[in-house]
Amino acid sequence: MSDEVFKQFKEHSVAEFFKKNRQMLGFSGKVRSLTMIVHELVTNSLDACEETGILPEVFVQVEELGTDHYQLTIKDNGPGIPKSHLGKALGQMLAGTKFHRYVQQRGQQGIGAAACTMFSYITTGQSTKAISACSGKKFTANIAIDFVKNKAVVEEIEEVPTDENGLTVISEFKDVKYERSNYGVYEYLRRTALANPNCSITLIEPNKQRVTFPRSVEQNPPRPVEIKPHPLGIGTHDLLEFAKRSKESKKISPFLTETFARMSAGKVEELKNMLPTVDFNKNPSDMSWEDAEAIVKAFGQVKWIAPATDSLVPIGKTQVEASFRNIFNPEVLVITERSPKVYRGGIPFMVEVGIAYGGGVAAAEKRGEVMRFANRVPLLFDSGGCAITETIKTIDWKRYDIKNFDEEPIAVLVNLISVHVPYTSAGKQAISNEEDVMDEIKFAIMEASRSIQKYLSGKRRANEIANKKKVVTRYIQQLSSDLSILSGEKKDDIQKRLTKIIEDKYGGEEELAQGEGKGNEEETVPTEKEEDEENGE
C-alpha cells in the first residue's frame, strides 16, 4: 500500500513552488500584480545605485498592448549586471547579493527580480529582455526560467562596446491592469519619491502622459555598514552552519570572535568558564550538536553590548521634510526619529515618523492617510495585518486635538529601518507584530503628535482670541459716542484709548497663541511617565 502511495513522491524546485503559489510573492489581483512587478525591479535599481554611490535615475514606462496585457520597461543608471551574473540575477530564485548579508537593504531574499521574469513567462510565454551596460560593454539577452531546475535560460542577442552604464528590463505581462488608484503604479512611485528624495523618477503612463518626480536632495544617504550576526540572534543550527563554513579558524575560540559581533576575547573566556565540558580548542567543523546547543544556551546568560547602530540609515529629518514640502507642502510638518533598538534578541532596528497636516494635504483631498515604509520602500498592500497599521489604531488621536483621524487632513509616514525587516510573507508588504517594534512605532508617533497638538491648540486659541477681539471691536464706535456725551471728552480721543486697551489685551494674547503654534517642528520626547500613561499603565 505504501509503495503505491510513494510512487507519486517527487522533488520540486523553489521555482516550481512559487510558480504554483505566486500569490505568496504578492501576485494576486491585476492592479496589485503590476504594482508588485514595478516594486521589485525599482527597489533593485535603487539598491544597486546607492551601493555604488550613484544618484539614482529610474525610468518606468507602461504600455498597453491589449486587455489586461501590458509591456513594462524599467531602466536605471546603476552599475549594470556583469554578463556572468545577468541570468542568475533575473532568472534564478534565491540567487543574489542580499539573502546572506547582515546589511540594511530594500531587498532581502533574492527572489523579486526572478519572480517578475517568472510571472511574465507564465502569463505570456515570452522571455524577459535585459540590456545590461557594465564595464564598457552592453550585453543584450532574452531570459526565461527552467522551473524544474530553478535555472535561468539565457539567449544571447548581442554584445557591443558602450560608454553607458545601467540596466534595462523589458517584459510583457498579462492578467495585470494599470490604474491610478491608492494601490497602483503611480501611487507606488509617488511614495517611493517621498521616501527617497535622492532619486529622480520618470513615469510614462499607458495614455502617454509623462510624470516626473524630481530629485529634491543632491546626495545619497550614507551607505549602511554590513555587520556580523549578534550572538543573541543565533540558534543551534545557525551556529553549526557558521562553523561548517568557517575555513580560516582552526579553533572554536577564534571562530567565535571572528564570526559574531560584540564577541571579544573576554566574552569567550566567560563562555569557557561557563562551559567546562566544551573543548574550545577543537576545530569548529568538529563541533557537535550538544556543543553548539550548550554554547547557544550560554549566549543567553551573558550580558552583551547591543548590536552596532551604524548599520542603520534612516531617510533623515532633512530629507523627509524636503520630500513632504516637495509633494504636499503641508501647513505643518513634524518629523521625529527614535534612537536605535533591538528586537527578537539581536536584530537592530529604528523607527522614524513624519506627520503632515493641512495645506497641500487638504488640497490633495487626503484624509487620515497612513504611508507605511520599510527601509524606504512603500508598503501599499496587506495593511490590515501590518504592525504599523495596528499600532496607529491604538493611538488616542483626540488626545492630540485630532478629533477624527479618518476625516482630518493628515498624512502619517512611518518608516521601519532594520538589517532584517520582519515581513509577514515573501511579498514583503506587511510587518509582523513584533512587540518591541510596535512599541517603538507608537512612541515615535506620540512624539510627533505632541508637536502637532501644540500647533493646533495654538492655532485654535489664536482664532478664539481673534473672534473675541472682533466682537469687542464692533462696540467701540457706539461706546465712544456714549462716553463722549457723558464725560464731555472728544469722541476720537475716547475711541483711540479704547482701541489701545483692546490691542493691549488681545494683541499680546494673540501673539502668545501664535507663538505656541509656531513651535510645531520641535521634537518633544515623551517621558517614561507619559509613555506609561499612553499605554494605560
CATH of the domain at 352: 3.30.230.10
Per-residue pLDDT tens over the stretch 24-36: 676 788 999 999 9
Residue 151 shares a structural domain with residue 22: yes
Per-residue pLDDT tens over the stretch 69-88: 999 999 999 999 998 888 88
pLDDT of residue 511: 53
Alpha carbon distance 107, 112 (integer Å): 8
Per-residue pLDDT tens over the stretch 41-61: 999 899 889 888 899 999 999
Q: Indicate the pLDDT class of residue 7, thresholds 50, 70 and 90.
A: low
Residue 149 shares a structural domain with residue 54: yes
Q: DSSP readout, 147-164?
A: TTTTEEEEEEEEEEE-S-
Among the three residues 452, 484, 517, which one is the final residue of a domain in this structure? 452
**pLDDT at residue 225 tops 70:** yes
pLDDT of residue 147: 74
Residue 145 shares a structural domain with residue 170: yes
Q: Does a structural domain hold residue 308?
A: no
Among the three residues 299, 330, 356, which one is the final residue of a domain in this structure? 299
Q: Indicate the pLDDT class of residue 5, thresholds 50, 70 and 90.
A: low
Residue 392 shares a structural domain with residue 335: yes
pLDDT of residue 521: 43
Q: Does a structural domain hold residue 163?
A: yes
Query: Nine-digit cell at 506?
Result: 488681545
Q: Does a structural domain hold residue 393?
A: yes
Residue 370 shares a structural domain with residue 380: yes
Q: Does a structural domain hold residue 309?
A: no
Residue 472 shares a structural domain with residue 499: yes
In this prediction, residues 213-224 reach a mean pLDDT of: 85
Strand 332-337 to 151-161 pairing: unpaired
Among the three residues 452, 477, 509, which one is the final residue of a domain in this structure? 452
Give 394 or 5, the one with higher predicted confidence.
394
CATH of the domain at 289: 1.10.8
CATH of the domain at 67: 3.30.565.10
pLDDT of residue 438: 93
Per-residue pLDDT tens over the stretch 315-367: 888 888 888 887 788 999 999 999 888 777 567 888 999 999 998 888 888 88
Per-residue pLDDT tens over the stretch 449-487: 999 999 888 877 767 667 777 777 777 788 778 777 778
Q: Does a structural domain hold residue 220?
A: no
Full residue range of the structural domain in which residue 28 is found? 14-213
Q: Does a structural domain hold residue 280?
A: yes
Q: Quote the number of domains for the chain.
A: 4
Residue 59 shares a structural domain with residue 112: yes
Residue 328 shares a structural domain with residue 359: yes
pLDDT of residue 528: 42
Cell numbers 520602500: residue: 377
Residues 6+ away with beta carbon under 8 Å from 74: 38, 41, 42, 45, 58, 59, 60, 61, 168, 169
CB atoms within 10 A of CB 66: 7
Residue 284 shares a structural domain with residue 180: no
Q: Does a structural domain hold residue 219?
A: no
Q: Does a structural domain hold residue 187?
A: yes
**pLDDT at residue 177 tops 70:** yes
Between helices 476-487 and 491-502, what is the axis angle to 10°?
Answer: 130
Residue 115 shares a structural domain with residue 135: yes
Residue 411 shares a structural domain with residue 289: no
CB atoms within 10 A of CB 148: 11
Residue 412 shares a structural domain with residue 467: no
Closest-CA residue to 78 (of 194, 200, 186, 204): 200
